[in-house]
Amino acid sequence: MIKPIVAFLIKREYFVYLLFLACTVVTLLLTLLPPGNLHGPSIFEYDKIGHFLMFFGWTFMLGLSRIIRKKQPIRLWIVFLIGALFGIAIEITQGILPYDRSASLYDAIADVIGSFSAVLLLKYIQTNLSFIIKKAYPTVK
């Protein structure tokens, strides 16, 4: 099931960039806006699962966009580090904000675990599906 999705995304490079931008905007809005601005039913009733999913998605899209841009395997530890630092920076920012947001060590841990899980999936894609990149970009060695 992963193979057709990855093939679809690799052939639509700008769609991946758009998804990464959308993930960034949604992540920032959900984590930095005052809670009163988020109307409707609580999407993330289980807060830690929400953090995990947001940072899994954000880190995955970051890594996939880098793979597509470079058209070759990338250093995944850098993608993990960027994702983890992004989550930690958001938690620190929440502690500084003057409204009803607070920093949480457990949220930061969920962010880091989400980033790590995304990197594991990216590692699988780089290791087992590199032929899709070569097929999409035949001039790449």
Q: Which helix (H) or strand (E) holds 14?
A: helix 13-32
Helices (H) and strands (E) in the chain — how many of each?
6, 0
Residues 52 and 107 sit within 8 Å (Cβ to Cβ): no
Which one of 1-15, 36-50, 117-131 scores highest in mean pLDDT? Answer: 117-131
Residues 54 and 26 sit within 8 Å (Cβ to Cβ): yes
**Residue matched to tokens 């995944």:** 76
The sign of the torsion formed by the CA atoms of 45, 46, 48, 49 equals negative
- pLDDT bracket for residue 116 (50, 70, 90): very high
- pLDDT bracket for residue 138 (50, 70, 90): low
Average pLDDT value for residue range 117-123: 95
pLDDT at 120 over 60: yes
Average pLDDT value for residue range 23-35: 88
More confident residue, 115 or 99: 115
Instruction: Give the pLDDT of residue 28.
Output: 92
Model confidence over 36-86: pLDDT tens digits?
Answer: 655 555 544 567 898 999 999 999 999 999 988 887 788 999 999 999 999
Which one of 34-43, 96-105, 129-138 scores highest in mean pLDDT? Answer: 96-105
Q: What's the pTM?
A: 0.83
Q: Quote the tokens at residue 33.
A: 């806006």
Of 87, 80, 82, whose CA–CA distance to 117 is shortest? 80
Of 50, 59, 53, whose CA–CA distance to 120 is shortest? 59
Dist CA 133 CA 138 (whole Å): 8
